[in-house]
Amino acid sequence: MREPYLVVSDLKVSFPTADGVVTAVQGLSYSVPLGRTLAIVGESGSGKSVSSLALMGLHDPKRTAISGSIQIGGDEIVGMSQRKLRRHRGASTAMIFQDPLSSLHPFFTIGDQIGEAYRAHSGARKRAARKRAAEMLARVGIPNPAARLDDYPHQFSGGMRQRVMIAMALVNDPKLLIADEPTTALDVTVQAQILDLIADLQQEFGSAVVFITHDLGVVAEIADDVLVMYAGRAVEYGSTEQILARPLHPYAWGLLESIPALSGEPAPLHPIPGLPPSLLDMPPGCSFSPRCEFRDRVPDDLCRRELPLLAARTAEDARLSRCHLPDPDVRFHLEILPRLP
Amino acid sequence: MAGYILKRGVSALLVVLVTLLLSFAMFFLAPKDPIGAICGPRCTPERAAEISQSLHLDDPVTLQFAQYVKGIVAGHTITSGGATVDCPAPCLGYSFRLGQPVTKLLMQAMPITVSIVVGAAVVYLTIGILSGILAARRRGTSFDKSIVAGTLGLSSVPYFIVALLVVLYTAGTFLPPSQYSPFLDGPLSWASGLTAAWLTLGVVNAAAYARYSRASMIEALGEDYIRTARAKGISERRVVYRHGLRSALTPVATIFGLDLAGQLTGALFTERIFGLPGLGVVTLEAFKTDDLPVMMGGILLGSVLLVTLNLMVDILYTFLDPRVRLG
């Protein structure tokens, strides 16, 4: 395997608030080599977006405490000055956001907005930036690109707007692309087009991609590796094949069970009972234990007392999971698999 | 776009027409006695009849209204006590009390009001928007808190008290005495005579504008597209002053247009306290002396100003916010 382009180790992101310190991400470590896609999966508040904003250095330094390490192409991002961060943002590292309508400035033309991103790092003149913007629009499949440069975001459809966002993110050939739920706000048919586009462009540019999503269908489509997050921590981390076919963490099981079946007999859904814990008031032990149906299988009330380590659980694969269950693969086969549609 | 402006223009015209009708109706419905107002307390029936005739008060109401409108469009002549006065278009009637056509009275007062309001606008836009933006950028700091507290304090004191205090303590001492001399007679004396009014009206209004711009800027800086702008790697200054300010000033511009209209027609306290006989003072005098033609003219002019500025705000908005352009 190639040397990873992005290496995150022991990342912790917390926000001091009036009610106490909210620790949104804790002990997060992962790496992504060029040409590969890592999907970060988790529900709202699991820390997936917070951790990826940290990759861009987009947290307000006055309101955020970040520790650990984020290395992008060998440069340490944590603690980097705003000045240096700016040279990274939009250049080596770019980001696509969830809602393209609110993420594009309503009062500027898209040619202007894409051109601005290009000029920020290339020092190109307006005319060259405009030409580059038109090229990028063509590259992301927007018909008649030169004519559309002077259009405003509201004159595009949702899918086309997300293409504009992608064109803007890729305008400086970033080596690392962070996509924060880029298809969540789109129609299902458009979703597939955007996923294909991102996959194509990744092939072409050979960049590393961090893809944040809560949709396991999207994960299967696009990711090489998967990191499942819960309450600010990684609970499972491995290759997409392993994790989708045979997850080892009860939370990942819950995610699989919550997917409605599209074929066969209509079966009741199995949502995960309860709610994620408040980041201000984390349960002792495993954060998932209050919602976990397997916690009583572990002796000595260990789940409620001690945070499990993120470690390899079985001899045959290298994937990591954070669970005290002694025999997760057996439990999955005997109890979870029969329940899945 | 042209269709939109046309549509808005027509509805603006309708509003002016309705105001015209209502202000004309006031002539008949208001508990005022136009003849008594002109004739005075010791009025002979003959004199009253003469005035009534010269005012065409005996004509049918519709005919009188037609005369009034005709005067505005084409002008007409007014006879009073044997003398004939020519009142060219737009003729808003004749003030028998002051012996002047209403249009002339209003046109003398208008430059004074416009001078006060425009000069004050420069002051409050500059101070208000600048301090509002700085407060928004330093949100939560002591600078921000003092701006918020200061603007609140300033807005809590009735405006006329502030103005009176300014006149009492500053005018003629460290501010030049307040007076009006036309701009064309010398810009310097024009400006120095208005300085006290500008600063007072300006600083008091700056408090409101500081609050608008602060709130508007805070909202703008919280938008997703600001995060996108930061993610591009452009400088923070560019993020704030290009991306943020562009959004933040759009609502402020709307408020400004409406405020301007309100001040043009209602800078009464400023005019009165600083002794500048603008539109507000002229209209107020008319109300005090039952000078109905001037009252009607003042109301009509006010409504035209208000409607015109509203229309301009609407048109301006289509340039500020591209999303309404097609609407």
pLDDT in tens, A286-317: 999 999 988 888 888 899 999 999 988 777 77
> Does pLDDT of B327 surpass 50?
no
Q: pTM of this prediction?
A: 0.83
Say if residues A227 and A214 touch (Cβ distance below 8 Å): no
Q: Say how far apart CA A11 and CA A148 lie, in whole Å.
A: 41
Cα dihedral A149/A155/A161/A167 (nearest 10)? 0
Q: Say how far apart CA A263 and CA A189 lie, in whole Å.
A: 19
> Across the beta sheet with A176-180, what order do the strands follow?
A93-96, A176-180, A208-213, A37-41, A225-230, A233-239, A320-321, A311-312
Q: Say how far apart CA A161 and CA A158 lie, in whole Å.
A: 5
Compare all CA atoms of chain A with the CA of B221 and give the residue at the minimum distance.
A105
pLDDT in tens, A96-135: 998 999 999 999 999 999 999 999 999 899 999 999 999 9
Say if residues B267 and B201 touch (Cβ distance below 8 Å): yes
Per-residue confidence at B72, pLDDT binned at 50, 70, 90? confident
Q: Say how far apart CA B292 and CA B37 lie, in whole Å.
A: 9
> In Å, how far is B19's CA from the nearest CA of chain A?
37
Choose among A67, A99, A52, A68: nearest CA to A227: A52
- Residue B116 touches chain A, beta carbons under 8 Å: no
Percent of chain A surpassing pLDDT 90: 63
- Residue A106 touches chain B, beta carbons under 8 Å: yes
> In Å, how far is A336's CA from the nearest CA of chain B?
40
Chosen from B223, B230, B243 to mutate, greatest number of chain A CBs within 10 A = B230
For B86-90, what is the mean pLDDT?
Answer: 79
- Residue B219 touches chain A, beta carbons under 8 Å: no
- Residue A114 touches chain B, beta carbons under 8 Å: no
Contact list, A165 vs chain B (CB under 8 Å): 228
**B161 to B165, B171, B302: CA distances (angstroms):** 6, 15, 25
Q: Is B95 helix (H, G, I), strand (E, B) or coil?
A: strand
Across the A:B interface, residue pairs with CB atoms under 8 Å apart total 70
Say whether B230 and A121 touch across the interface (CB within 8 A): no
Chosen from A103, A112, A152, A210 to mutate, greatest number of chain B CBs within 10 A = A103
> In Å, how far is B262's CA from the nearest CA of chain A?
28
Q: How much is the CA Rg of chain B, to the nearest whole Å?
A: 24
Spell B18-31 as b/e; 16+ CB within 10 A means b: ebbeebbeebeeee
> In Å, how far is B244's CA from the nearest CA of chain A?
10
Side chain identity, residue B294 = V
pLDDT in tens, A210-250: 999 988 888 998 999 999 999 999 999 999 998 998 899 99
Say if residues B125 and B198 touch (Cβ distance below 8 Å): no
DSSP element (H, E) containing B311: helix B292-320
Question: Looking at residue A240, what is its pLDDT?
Answer: 94
Q: Is B181 helix (H, G, I), strand (E, B) or coil?
A: coil
Say if residues A33 and A1 touch (Cβ distance below 8 Å): yes
Say whether B321 and A152 touch across the interface (CB within 8 A): no
For B194-217, what is the mean pLDDT?
Answer: 93
DSSP element (H, E) containing A107: none
Question: Looking at residue B326, what is its pLDDT?
Answer: 53
Supply the mean pLDDT for chain B. 87
Choose among A135, A198, A203, A207: nearest CA to A171: A135
Question: Looking at residue A2, what is its pLDDT?
Answer: 65
Furthest C-alpha separation in chain A: 70
Contact list, B236 vs chain A (CB under 8 Å): 82
What is A214-241 written as a DSSP string? S-HHHHHHH-SEEEEEETTEEEEEEEHH
Q: Say how far apart CA A169 and CA A96 lie, in whole Å.
A: 6
> Does pLDDT of A178 surpass 90?
yes
Say whether B246 and A91 touch across the interface (CB within 8 A): no
Q: Which among B231, B246, B323 has the least Cβ separation from residue A90? A: B231
CA terminus-to-terminus distance, chain A:
35
Question: Looking at residue B224, what is its pLDDT?
Answer: 94
Q: Name the one residue in this structure whose structure tokens are 């001399």.
A: B181
> In Å, how far is A86's CA from the nearest CA of chain B?
4
Choose among A270, A235, A274: nearest CA to A251: A235
> In Å, how far is B150's CA from the nearest CA of chain A?
25
Q: Say how far apart CA B130 and CA B134 lie, in whole Å.
A: 6
At the top level of CATH, the class of A1-92+175-341 is: alpha beta
Put simply, the chain B residues between 249 and 308 with a CB less than 8 A from any chain A CB are: 250
Q: Say how far apart CA B76 and CA B93 lie, in whole Å.
A: 9
What is A81-98 written as a DSSP string? -HHHHHHHBTTTEEEE-S
> Does pLDDT of B174 surpass 90?
no
What is A4-24 written as a DSSP string? EEEEEEEEEEEEEETTEEEEE
> Does pLDDT of A54 surpass 90?
yes
Per-residue confidence at B171, pLDDT binned at 50, 70, 90? low
For B54-65, what is the mean pLDDT?
Answer: 79
My answer on whether omega of the bond before B60 falls inside 30° of 0, hence cis, is: no
Side chain identity, residue A27 = G
Choose among A232, A211, A187: nearest CA to A44: A232
For B217-243, what is the mean pLDDT?
Answer: 94
Compare all CA atoms of chain A with the CA of B323 and give the residue at the minimum distance.
A154
- Residue A89 touches chain B, beta carbons under 8 Å: yes
Domains in chain B: ranges and CATH: 36-91 (no CATH), 103-320 (1.10.3720.10)
- ipTM score: 0.89
Question: Looking at residue B42, what is its pLDDT?
Answer: 77
Q: Say how far apart CA B121 and CA A235 lie, in whole Å.
A: 60
DSSP 8-state assignment for residue A312: E
Map out the domains of chain A as residue ranges: 1-92+175-341, 100-173
How many residues does the structure list for chain A?
A: 341
Contact list, B230 vs chain A (CB under 8 Å): 58, 89
Contact list, B322 vs chain A (CB under 8 Å): 106-107, 152, 154
Q: Say how far apart CA A286 and CA B208 lie, in whole Å.
A: 52
DSSP 8-state assignment for residue A177: E
> Does pLDDT of A276 surpass 50?
yes
For A315-328, what is the mean pLDDT?
Answer: 85
Say if residues B130 and B122 touch (Cβ distance below 8 Å): no
